[in-house]
Copies of this chain bind each other. A is one copy, B any other.
Amino acid sequence: MDKLQNKWFKESCEMWPGATFTFEVKEVLQSGKSQYQNIDVFDTTSLGRVLVLDDIIQCTQKDEFSYQEMISFLPLCCHKNPEKVLIVGGGDGGVAREVAKHPKVKEIVQVEIDEKVIEVSKKYLQFMAVGFDSEKLELHVGDGFEFMKNHSQEFDVIITDSSDPIGPAVNLFLENYFSLMKSALKPNGIVCSQAGTIWNDLDLVTSTLGYCRNQFPAAAYAYTTVPAYPSGPIGFVIGSLDKNIKFDQPTLVFSREDEKAMNLKYYNSDIHKAAFVLPTFVKYRLA
């Protein structure tokens, strides 16, 4: 495989030139092109299995729980009654796995554009693809952008688990995507989108939060730590139709028993609050 040098994979992306992450590969489990992108799965010496799309790390077995739990439970626990949830993207199944755990969630609809990602995840990334087994889930293969045009006032929460804004996900970072999500939400609905890192993509964070603010009466940025993503922390833009929402006050506070029952390894009710507290250089840039 020509993208490996002495069994080391080096991530490379025009969004963060000049500094990057590398890992040692034990075995190439999957390498090939779908209709939309290159899909690689590696077994590695230190990160477990790793999913790479178009040469960018999407998730590693070691740390994916941080991302999946936080992108799911932050919006779910901001909402008073998140009964019906839409997931856009998330083809590895990790977000579905987390959303299905929330006690108030009754129905999950997921729209992933790339069937091959689902197939590969079911074969090699079962620890995430287990999410597809939930009885709450209805899975569609298609364009989330198009899907939403035909669904009005239907969802309590919309989670967009996309890759970065190059390639198939570019439309999911634009203002009309936030506008579409708004019309697909029920009253007091909430959206949460992957939105880049404060260290490498502060321009992207600022623009994405700006689009969300233009469409939603309340919006905020929160973050978590995911070592395999460039720079470490990765963040989410969250918008709500409830203008009085307090994002940093979870509506449902979990006990230690709740955390155990849901196998939550990263998210807890205190880290929910802390996730919205920003370093000074970010706070005033986003203000």
A residues lining the B interface (CB < 8 Å) = 10, 16-24, 44-47, 62-63, 66, 198-200, 225-233, 259, 264-268, 270-271, 273-274, 277-281, 283
* Main secondary structure on A side of the interface with B: loop
- Our pick among B10, B198, B267, B273 for the contact of A22 (Cβ within 8 Å) is B10
Whole-angstrom distance from the CB of A42 to the nearest CB of chain B?
11
Which single residue of chain B is at the shortest CB-CB distance from A66? B279
Can you report 7 residue pairs joining A to B where beta carbons are below 8 Å apart?
A: A17-B45, A18-B47, A227-B232, A266-B280, A266-B281, A267-B279, A268-B280
Which single residue of chain B is at the shortest CB-CB distance from A50? B19
Q: How many copies does the complex hold?
A: 2
Given contacts A19-B46, A46-B16, A233-B232, contact A279 B283 (CB under 8 A): no
B24 touches A19 (CB 8 A): yes
CA separation between A271 and B198, bound complex, in Å?
15
Given contacts A66-B279, A225-B233, A280-B268, contact A18 B10 (CB under 8 A): no
Whole-angstrom distance from the CB of A207 to the nearest CB of chain B?
21
Whole-angstrom distance from the CB of A228 to the nearest CB of chain B?
8
Given contacts A225-B233, A227-B232, A281-B266, contact A199 B17 (CB under 8 A): no
Which single residue of chain B is at the shortest CB-CB distance from A45? B18
Q: Which B residues are in CB contact (< 8 Å) with A230?
A: 227
CA separation between A265 and B18, bound complex, in Å?
23
CA separation between A200 and B47, bound complex, in Å?
11
- Our pick among B10, B62, B281 for the contact of A265 (Cβ within 8 Å) is B281
Give the interface centre of A44, A46, A259, A267 by most chain B CB atoms within 10 Å.
Answer: A46
Q: Which B residues are in CB contact (< 8 Å) with A277?
A: 270-271, 273-274
Q: Which B residues are in CB contact (< 8 Å) with A10?
A: 22
